[in-house]
Amino acid sequence: MRSSTLLAAVIPFAQAARIIQSNDDGWAEINLRTLFNSLNAAGHNVILSGPAEQKSGTGSSDEPPTTVDSDGCIHSSCAPGSPPTGANASDPRLNYVNSFPVTSIKVGIDTTAPKLWNGAKPELALTGPNVGSNIGIQVPFSGTVGAAAYAAKTARIPAIAMSGWSGDPTPWNQPAPIYSRVYADLALNITSTILRSGSPYLPADVWLNVNFPEVTDSHCNSAGQFKYILTRINWGIFSEKDPLWCGSDRLPTETDIILKKQCLVSISAGDANDKTTVDAARQKVVLDKLRPILSCP
């Protein structure tokens, strides 16, 4: 699909899901808010619970939230000295947590979501799109990945971490750049495909590591130009074979795909315990769920 508007039109109401969102770039980052708007337009029930400040590279760090310091929240989105957690004054679905990404999504799952959803918890966790890629050796250090791994392992919620090559930190109240809009469309397509595949949406302890390539005004500037490629996080030279796909029993790495700088999205099945590629059996489950949108590299 070429736009979130078209995607929204084809998602049956029964597939609408309760979704928790987070990231490591801060709750007021444009990528996070653009995807929030796209998910809501598609009929999903979404709660955003992101860090008050930029927390990239913090991995799986987790500490109780503290009072916001004298700088206030990122992009002046909350005042200095604000409480450890808080919500947008006009939309209680938009929440900050003054701590790490893992803490942010944990508060969202355990406290904010049940409060707003009459005791219910999320059915799916989405983190990102991160400002910058998270491929290969970057993966263990990513807060965006750390939050997704927490959701999958500890909260037992299927999770997707998403990252985009293009962009700079941008406030929520600026016009959405083209890369934010394209990444949101691509993320919505992947989310919709997973939801249409049926519950359980992902195997136990599995999260998806999704990376989007460079997007500019003249390069890969529409979601319809993209292909989705099943990849692996690490090289896996000495690991067991991957499931047979595209005539090979070894999937390309996400690094190989993203560094081609073509209109290719890499999707890897990650193990929430160690943030490496999962075993072939669980890869096969993910392959079957994503098969409707996958292409060969």
Q: How many domains does the chain have?
A: 1
User: What average pLDDT does this structure show over 184-203?
Assistant: 98
In this structure, are residues 200 and 234 in contact, taking their beta carbons and an 8 Å threshold? no
Give the amino acid at 293: I
Q: Is residue 137 included in any domain, yes or no?
A: yes
The per-residue pLDDT of the chain, averaged, comes to 94
Q: pLDDT digit string (tens) for 69-126?
A: 999 999 999 999 999 999 999 999 999 999 999 999 999 999 999 999 999 999 999 9
pLDDT tier at 236 (50, 70, 90 boundaries)?
confident
Cα 158-11-190 angle, rounded to 5 deg? 40
Q: Is residue 228 included in any domain, yes or no?
A: yes
For 36-39, the CB contacts below 8 A with 24+ separation are 36/94, 37/184, 38/4, 38/7, 38/8, 38/184, 38/185, 38/187, 38/188, 39/126, 39/188, 39/191
Smallest Cα–Cα separation from 267: which of 237, 291, 248, 247? 291
* Beta strands across the sheet bearing 45-51: 85-88, 91-97, 45-51, 18-22, 124-131, 159-164, 206-212, 264-271, 227-231
Task: For the chain, give percent helix, strand, coil, nearest 5.
Answer: 30, 20, 45
Q: Which residues pair with 126 in a beta bridge?
A: 21, 160
Q: Is residue 153 included in any domain, yes or no?
A: yes
Helix runs in 216-294, H state only: 254-258, 280-290
In this structure, are residues 244 and 270 in contact, taking their beta carbons and an 8 Å threshold? no
Range of the domain at 88: 4-290
Q: Parallel, antiparallel, or unpaired: how do β-strands 227-231 and 264-271 relate?
A: parallel
Q: pLDDT digit string (tens) for 127-154?
A: 999 999 999 999 999 999 999 999 999 9
As a whole number of angstroms, the distance between CA 171 and CA 131 comes to 12
Per the rule left: phi > 0, alpha: psi between -120 and 50, beta: everything else, 251 is beta
Q: Is residue 86 included in any domain, yes or no?
A: yes
Query: Among residues of the chain, what percentage have pLDDT more than 70?
Result: 95
The pTM (predicted TM-score) of the whole model is 0.94
Q: Is residue 295 included in any domain, yes or no?
A: no
User: What average pLDDT does this structure show over 205-222?
Assistant: 97
The b-or-e profile of 25-61 (16+ CB within 10 A means b, else e) is: bbbbbbbbbbbbbbbeebebbbbbbbbbbbbbebbbe
Specify the CATH number for the domain of residue 84: 3.40.1210.10
Q: Is residue 265 included in any domain, yes or no?
A: yes
Q: Is residue 171 included in any domain, yes or no?
A: yes
Q: Is residue 297 included in any domain, yes or no?
A: no
Residue with tokens 């109780």: 64
Determine the 3-state secondary structure of 217 from DSSP.
coil
Q: Which residues pair with 88 in a beta bridge?
A: 91
* Token reading at 225: 């130009």
